[in-house]
Structure 1
Amino acid sequence: MSQPLNLATLPSLPSTVEKPAYERQALRPGILHIGIGNFHRSHQAVYLDDLFNRGRDLDWALIGAGVRPGDAAMRKALEPQDWLTTVVELEPSAHRARVTGAMVDFVSVGGDGKAIVEALDDPRLRIVSLTVTEGGYCIDPATGAFNPEHPEIVHDARLPDAPKGVFGVLLGALKRRRDRGLAPFTVMSCDNIPGNGHVAMNAVAGLADLVDPELAAFVREHVAFPNSMVDRITPATSDRERSLLAERFEIQDNWPVFCEPFRQWVLEDHFPAGRPALEEVDVTFTRDVAAFELMKIRILNGGHAAIAYPAALLGIHFVHDAMADPLVRGFLDKVEREEIVPCVPPVPGIDLQDYYDLIARRFSNPDVGDTIPRLAQDGSNRQPKFILPSTRDRLKAGQDVIGLALESALWCRYCTGTTDEGAAFTLDDPNAARLIQAAGAARDNPEAFLELRDIFGDIAASAVFRAHFETALRSLWRDGTRTTLQRYLEGRLS
């Protein structure tokens, strides 16, 4: 019989479940993390749990925080289980469950970020880490530059003492610490954005420019924003995962995390206020995070986008089923090997083709249960970061982009909200209304979609890209996804 997860029941969990080897009362907070979602709990929290299990750095425990409604829901789910999380690593015929205890508190989530600002008055908190999604950094998707007209930035610049956005919260906390004579905390982004540390710094300092130029100068001179690369495939949690946990491991967890066995974290070692000894638990510290980061974003995240839209149009729900489809897998292999991987710069100690082979095996893991809707969401933020940079690089080099243009056409066709069979689905994107309108107009006039210049930028001006995009989109509407993919694989789509 399964039992609720909390500190009281922890000792009586089945012996097959790994439990913290440290006493929770021995932990002291050192990191406040904004954006407590599945990925953070399968990644950063697991690395810290590993470190604490070695008896090391027990003064670097986590405090959760957030400013979104989803953060409030997560807090409500985790509070009755004393902030414990069950993490299940999914490998065929070898599921492993562990309970992690690296988080010791969770700041109340209200209508603004005042509670987080006050929590960061604690000098023990020396790092603020972030997983606020690719779209959470208030940047112009076409240029990657900070957008001072983003609604969150406009609000927090007008009302800096009642911030609603993440970067208003960070700026308010840094100002209070400066005014009190406390050392600033390090801001550590853990989101899939090229140069995520630089992007985070531009958001905080860019907001400060609008509020107080002296504070902006302080941020640029004294606050550290290390770059990082993070990787672990972590699907969303549903009742399926909760039921599996109860049946196989006899645990009732309100919000368990299921993930693949593989994990990777590459960090720039720039932590003036100190950091935990994460190198002891296989975190890579390097001066050249950018090389690892670009490799992962282009090959893995770009690969996710490449399979998401054809699979969605074909009515495929699970990622491993998409990988088992010869046409979807064939499209992924061809566009990766011929167009994406060749324009990724060398990475020390890594063969890029071998790295892609590893990615393809990870995508094919049937036990992970990752879903196509998860990969397909938020395309207006993800395309400019994961796909279009490869397209831009190849165009600048005078190279062809038949496969990448097809990927963009598949996304356009997906944005109409129906499969090839006519089944309707919800477009999960903050710009859904605009995308649906543009995608609908593109059925008769493909260039209508490319008029989304904040997404496509200068790529839309390329005659080569426009021609391949139009050919692919017309084929998708006229003949469907399967026939279009087959033509591409046979070299007949140009």
Structure 2
Amino acid sequence: MEQILTLNQQNLAAISTKIPVPSYDRSTIKTGIVHVGVGGFHRAHEAFYTDQLLQDKSQTDWGICGVALLDFDTKIYNTLKAQNGLYTLIVKELDGSFTKQIIGSIVEVLFAPESPIKVIEKMASPEVKIISLTITEGGYNYNEATGEFNFENPLIQHDLETPNAPKTIFGYLTQALQLRKENGLKGVTIQSCDNIQGNGHMTKKMLLSYVQVAAPTLVSWILENVTFPNAMVDRITPATSPLDIEKLKETSGIDDGWPVVCEPFKQWVIEDDFAAGRPAWETVGAQFVKDVVPYEKMKLSLLNAGHSVLGILGALYGYSTIDEAANDADISSFLRIYMGNEVTPTLGGLEGVNLKNYKFSLIQRFGNIYIKDQIERICSESSAKIPIFILPTVYAQLANNRTIQHAAFIIAAFAIYSVGVTENGAQLMIKDAMEAELTKKAILARNNPAVFLEIASIFGDLKSSKTFVDAYSKAYQHIVTNGIEKSVKDINSRVLNKI
């Protein structure tokens, strides 16, 4: 039987006989980046790009210090700490083969709840030039209805009252930037890697809103010394399963407590606006541009929205993974029509992008039977995703008197999904910060579908659009009366007959 090697720095040489490992001496790498949120996506994306860059032995200034921000992150922190920041990246190719390598770019790991001062001091370290973030859409703490910072959040109240032991990213950044200012240091770049259009603008707006209250004298220093480049990020990264961990042991003899699995496709488009220098990520496939907004809009409204469409419809069909939904002919047809008739007319300014090819590649990526992205994961926190991924398309289409039939159907399906039970009586696991309100409104919507649109923090004033409410209510009643599968077939048929 093959010897099983525990993944850590000490065993790296032995592991190198099994799969590729970093070719650089990790002990010589300085920490130039602090990254908050060391989950699967960061480790499949920014940390991967940075690992590729570090293979060039002259690039020694861009190691990553990974910060686990929340109490919930205890497991990932303990795993990475035990493994000296090392982990296995498993790329699941379309042909079913696996490409594996050890990633070494995370050279330090900190657990914020255990040592908040250490995290603040690391962010304020002179060698740190970039603080990057993957804190999920909900982590930016804004009210969707108003677009403003949510000071009602109890964690924000805690940070205002207890600034030296913060619990949110805004508390940490404020303390770290204050310390940089006091120490006379140059500025820093704060780089969002989250799925929010204008993610740099959003980060800047939310941070300055908080700082205006928490440390108003710091505002002018931030405006002069800190940059917030927008970026578009893309790589499908499903949750790691116990089967993935066991398969790695069986096939490669490596005991990795939390490997990362992902698809082969990757994309990173970044505005070149860095306050204190940056890694040459363009040498390993990233793209630097003057304006990232058109690319972000394309990705959010096609890929991310597409995921939500497959997730919500797939859940109601009784599927458990995204590839199952994507390979259902009717759901796939629904998504193609939605992307072609409702999203594509809202896009523009995509230099160097063949939109037809991009949409075709999405269908292929969604249908990758080896990725097995869980529908439950994709549907989680839909209350934060729908306003970002789907509603901008709705508003743009309404403003130009164009069709919103499929988008309205998706929202109707979401209302029915939010009851928490499929039409066959199977329980749906609703994982959402707004679960209580979603369920309450979803149950009331059984008598009056439009009630669901009254959740202003998700839908804003959408309920005031008669065009949308009529299309949504019609779709809702059709699903309830005829079932989800027949309703999807019928809406596809109606639209296809018009084309």
Specify the TM-score bucket, using the shorter chain as the normaliser: over 0.9
Amino acid across the alignment from 2:21? K
Looking at structure 2, the residues matched to 143 and 344 of structure 1 have their Cα atoms a distance apart, in angstroms, of: 25
Looking at structure 2, the residues matched to 15 and 297 of structure 1 have their Cα atoms a distance apart, in angstroms, of: 40
Do residues 50 (structure 1) and 46 (structure 2) align? no
SS of 2:9's equivalent in the other structure is coil
Distance verdict in 2 for CA 1:71–1:184, change over 3 Å: farther
SS of 2:180's equivalent in the other structure is helix
Q: Could you tell me how far 1:126 is from its partner in structure 2?
A: 1.2
Distance verdict in 2 for CA 1:309–1:108, change over 3 Å: closer
Q: Could you tell me how far 1:303 is from its partner in structure 2?
A: 0.5
Match of 2:111 in 1: 108
Match of 1:471 in 2: 474
Q: Could you tell me how far 1:111 is from its partner in structure 2?
A: 5.9
Looking at structure 2, the residues matched to 71 and 181 of structure 1 have their Cα atoms a distance apart, in angstroms, of: 33
Do residues 85 (structure 1) and 84 (structure 2) align? no
Mean Cα deviation higher: 268-277 or 137-146 = 137-146
Looking at structure 1, the residues matched to 124 and 35 of structure 2 have their Cα atoms a distance apart, in angstroms, of: 15
Say how many residue pairs are matched: 494
Match of 2:321 in 1: 318
Match of 2:166 in 1: 163
Match of 2:411 in 1: 408
Deviations 1:41-85 (A, max 9, x none): 000011011011122321110001132123222110111111101
Q: Could you tell me how far 1:161 is from its partner in structure 2?
A: 2.8
Looking at structure 2, the residues matched to 36 and 487 of structure 1 have their Cα atoms a distance apart, in angstroms, of: 43
Mean Cα deviation higher: 187-196 or 112-121 = 112-121
Deviations 1:374-411 (A, max 9, x none): 11110110000000110011011111211000010111
1:10 to 3, 12, 32: 12
Do residues 300 (structure 1) and 303 (structure 2) align? yes
RMSD: 1.6
Amino acid across the alignment from 2:157? V
1:126 to 121, 129, 149: 129
| Aligned 8 A contact 2:50 2:105 in 1 | yes
Q: 5+ unaligned residues in a row in structure 2: which ranges?
A: none
Deviations 1:106-136 (A, max 9, x none): 1133267333112223211111000000110
Q: Could you tell me how far 1:16 is from its partner in structure 2?
A: 4.9
2:188 to 162, 185, 188: 185
Match of 2:339 in 1: 336
SS of 2:107's equivalent in the other structure is strand
Do residues 279 (structure 1) and 282 (structure 2) align? yes
Looking at structure 2, the residues matched to 252 and 382 of structure 1 have their Cα atoms a distance apart, in angstroms, of: 35
Identity of aligned pairs, percent? 36
| Aligned 8 A contact 2:341 2:403 in 1 | no
Match of 2:74 in 1: 72
Distance verdict in 2 for CA 1:492–1:54, change over 3 Å: closer
Looking at structure 2, the residues matched to 120 and 346 of structure 1 have their Cα atoms a distance apart, in angstroms, of: 36
Mean Cα deviation higher: 7-16 or 270-279 = 7-16
Match of 2:120 in 1: 117
Distance verdict in 2 for CA 1:31–1:184, change over 3 Å: same
SS of 1:266's equivalent in the other structure is strand
| Aligned 8 A contact 1:14 1:249 in 2 | no
SS of 1:220's equivalent in the other structure is helix
- So what's the TM-score if we normalise by structure 1? 0.97
| Aligned 8 A contact 1:189 1:200 in 2 | yes
1:224 to 222, 227, 235: 227
Looking at structure 1, the residues matched to 366 and 305 of structure 2 have their Cα atoms a distance apart, in angstroms, of: 12
2:140 to 137, 142, 156: 137
Q: Could you tell me how far 1:343 is from its partner in structure 2?
A: 1.2
Deviations 1:462-491 (A, max 9, x none): 001000111111112222110110110111
| Aligned 8 A contact 2:225 2:275 in 1 | no
Match of 2:28 in 1: 26
Amino acid across the alignment from 1:315? G
- So what's the TM-score if we normalise by structure 2? 0.96
Amino acid across the alignment from 1:8? Q
